[in-house]
Amino acid sequence: MRDSRLIGTWRSDARKTATEIAVRRDISARKKATLRRFFGKLELRYTPTRCHSRLGDQVSVHRYDVVAKDAWSAALLVFNPVVGKQIVHVHFEGENRYWITLGSGRMREFFKRVNPKRS
């Protein structure tokens, strides 16, 4: 199964992710400041079967399959040689934005399309 909504280049949205972190009451101000520095740097480029990631000088490519999809989301089975198979649930917000959950699922990271599609 494929999902054409993914195809293209996406970048972590530091501003929107920072807004999400700011409202958390279970994270100290110091830890929030540390977390904010991590976002906005990751770039992901999806082809129909691969996800190419770039974080600074580090580049990796992982195979993925779309295992389920609906009008708002897609479930990806990602093949990572280090951690094994992982399910990543991508939640779309229109054509040019999406978010995923991180870690235990209590935090979200937002992404925006690098070259947005024009309607």
pLDDT tens digits, residue range 43-96? Answer: 999 999 999 999 999 999 999 999 999 999 999 999 988 889 999 999 999 999
Task: Kindly give the interhelix angle for 14-22 and 29-36, rounded to the nearest 10 degrees.
Answer: 170
Residue 80 located in a structural domain? yes
Q: Each residue of 2-54: pLDDT tens digit?
A: 999 999 999 999 999 999 999 989 989 999 999 889 999 999 999 999 999 99
Q: Which residues are 102's β-sheet partners? A: 107
Cα dihedral 68, 106, 6, 42, rounded to 10, equals: -150
Q: Which domain holds residue 13?
A: 8-113
In a domain, 3, yes or no: no
In a domain, 118, yes or no: no
In a domain, 1, yes or no: no
Residue 100 lies in a domain: yes
**pTM, entire model:** 0.90
Residue 98 pairs with which residues in a beta bridge? 92, 111
Report the distance separating Cα 12 and Cα 102, nearest Å. 13
Q: Are 53 and 43 in contact (CB under 8 A)?
A: yes
How many structural domains compose the chain? 1
